[in-house]
Structure 1
Amino acid sequence: MILLLYPGLKNMAVYLHALVTGSYMSGTHSVVFISCPNEQVGKVIARTIMEKKLAACINIIPKLSSMYHWDGEITEVTEAMLVIKTRSSKLYELTEFIRSVHPFEIPEVISLSVDQGNPSYLKWIEEVVPEE
């Protein structure tokens, strides 16, 4: 019970439990969302991410309606969304890459930790995306 009071100890306990039992360690993988001005730009960015082995899979969702605040006004545009599946350890490298190539002044890079999932799929991500 005392382990739950200290986040570092809790994380270590979860890690050790995962090693001993072979269960999934929550947060090892992430899903990342990146908006792009259009599908064509999204495909170029996605292909480069894949070539760099920063992701195992990327879904490209074309023609999303987006509404956001920009320069003091509400802006409405049509965009494409990349949904990226990767290792959480790759988030920094992925974010820095996106910032270097994305046409937006402030590109959206939002990640969510994977809590659970199909063990075979999660293992596949690990096989495709090297830890390095």
Structure 2
Amino acid sequence: MNPNDDTERVLLAMTGCGEAAAAQVIATALVEERLAACVNIIPGIRSTYRWDDRVQTENEVVLLIKTTAGRYDAMQARLIELHPYEVPEIVAIPVERGHAAYLDWVRASTGR
């Protein structure tokens, strides 16, 4: 593993989901399929957004997904496949700094 290789760059991706059960299915699949090293499921989020030209407010859970740039496209495709929303939020932020051993673990856990 070469942390200077852009495909090995660790990413923190995020999505929201309306049902905890659906979030768990997504988290388990992503980790089992080595598309994510870890997925945190955070309950109790309240989201306000515009959909169908109306402002709506719903309860959600947020999934924080630790992956690598090299696994991102496959992770995103699988997430879209599993996600119950018509247009799921999926955003990713590059991890600029972190505990080296943890970042190495993310890379190893998502390795093919």
TM-score over 0.5 for the alignment? yes
Deviation at 1:126, TM superposition (A): 1.3
Deviation at 1:125, TM superposition (A): 0.8
- The 3-state SS of whatever aligns with 1:82 is strand
2:85 corresponding residue in structure 1: 104
Deviation at 1:95, TM superposition (A): 0.8
CA distance in structure 1 between the aligned counterparts of 2:5 and 2:33, rounded to whole angstroms: 25
CA-based RMSD of the aligned residues comes to 1.5
Given candidates 44, 51, 62, the residue that maps to 1:81 is 62
- The 3-state SS of whatever aligns with 1:46 is helix
**Which ranges of structure 2 fall in alignment gaps of 5 or more residues?**
none
1:69 corresponding residue in structure 2: 50
- The 3-state SS of whatever aligns with 1:50 is helix
> What is the percentage of aligned positions where both structures have the same residue?
29
1:121 corresponding residue in structure 2: 102
Please report the TM-score for the alignment, with normalisation by the length of structure 1.
Answer: 0.77
- 2:36 is equivalent to residue 55 of structure 1: yes
**Which ranges of structure 1 fall in alignment gaps of 5 or more residues?**
1-18
Given candidates 30, 33, 42, the residue that maps to 2:23 is 42
1:13-49 deviation line (CA, Å, top 9, x unaligned): xxxxxx7xxxx54961100001111211101110011
The amino acid of 1:87's aligned partner reads T
- Inter-CA distance 102–121: structure 2 relative to 1 (3 Å threshold): same
- 2:22 is equivalent to residue 33 of structure 1: no
CA distance in structure 2 between the aligned counterparts of 1:88 and 1:26, rounded to whole angstroms: 10
The structure where strand makes up a greater share of residues is 2
